[in-house]
Structure 1
């Protein structure tokens, strides 16, 4: 029995690392305000997926921090994201939509990809499968769980430097 439990634990650890977490079934998101995550604001660049990644996060305004993302490979945009962290019902939610390079949406018109707040630390904010970590004033890491080409969930790390 201990061996089976250990195998289950190891298989979970290989799918996700310590950087992304989920709410426990029935658990509610903690109380939070946009001021708790305003440190994310800025113009950030990094490298991932064989290209350059760029994220621009606005300061809090109108109950949200808005952001745009793009991936550029071989001087061509592969895709964009637009989204926000929004204050709702005393907590935070991260929502986004994906767009092809021609701005045609990936998700249906009414759909968004939503990440509920799980936990807040001084320099780290954990949404379900999406974590932002402040390394210093000019560096952040973003960890996102993404399905790979085999349908397996894999945590990807994006390291960004302030521009």
Structure 2
């Protein structure tokens, strides 16, 4: 009995207390206006370019991405939509042939967010400064999980 009471007391003190006044702020797409614009950087052994539109009144941001191999050849494109549920992505070959079927897309579910960081299941966008951002993508390579880190700089 003493063990059960001790466990209940420990759980009480270790469980975060959330009251009406301490609830986290709801997701607001306008908090991520810092993402809007053109970013360039590295990733996948080549060059990455990402462009985001400003937040929209419908609670979304739209983005596009393209990757060039180290030799300068185009590797692939992405079309992205960010909202309170997370990020949805469709991939395309250089010839604009979709990787996913017409109805399907890749989803990164929203986990947490703060003014400088959007944490999605398998993907993180983190503002390091007004001109620098880091993107961390978790990938499964066989049985191994690896993280690809993109060091992005705001382009003029």
What's the TM-score, normalizing by structure 1?
0.74
Is the Cα–Cα contact under 8 Å of residues 36 and 51 in structure 2 kept in the other structure?
yes
Q: How far did 1:75 drift?
A: 1.8
Residue 11 of structure 1: aligned partner? none
Residue 116 of structure 1: aligned partner? 109
Gaps of 5+ in 1: 1-29
Larger Cα-atom Rg: 2
Is the Cα–Cα contact under 8 Å of residues 122 and 138 in structure 2 kept in the other structure?
yes
Residue 94 of structure 1: aligned partner? 87
Residue 31 of structure 1: which of 19, 26, 39 is its match?
Answer: 26
Q: How many pairs are equivalent?
A: 129
Name which structure has the greater RCO, CA cutoff 8 Å, separation 6+: 1
Q: Give the Cα–Cα distance (whole angstroms) in 2 for the partners of residues 92 and 42 of structure 1.
A: 22
Q: How far did 1:36 drift?
A: 2.2
Residue 67 of structure 2: aligned partner? 71
- Change in 2 beyond 3 A, CA 1:94/1:126: same
SS in 1 for 2:104: coil
Q: How far did 1:147 drift?
A: 2.2
Gaps of 5+ in 2: 1-24
Residue 119 of structure 2: aligned partner? 126
The answer to whether 1:147 aligns with 2:140 is yes
Q: How far did 1:38 drift?
A: 1.9
Is the Cα–Cα contact under 8 Å of residues 51 and 63 in structure 2 kept in the other structure?
yes
What's the TM-score, normalizing by structure 2?
0.77
Is the Cα–Cα contact under 8 Å of residues 44 and 148 in structure 2 kept in the other structure?
no
The two structures, once aligned, show a CA RMSD in angstroms of 1.5
Q: Give the Cα–Cα distance (whole angstroms) in 1 for the partners of residues 117 and 136 of structure 2.
A: 11
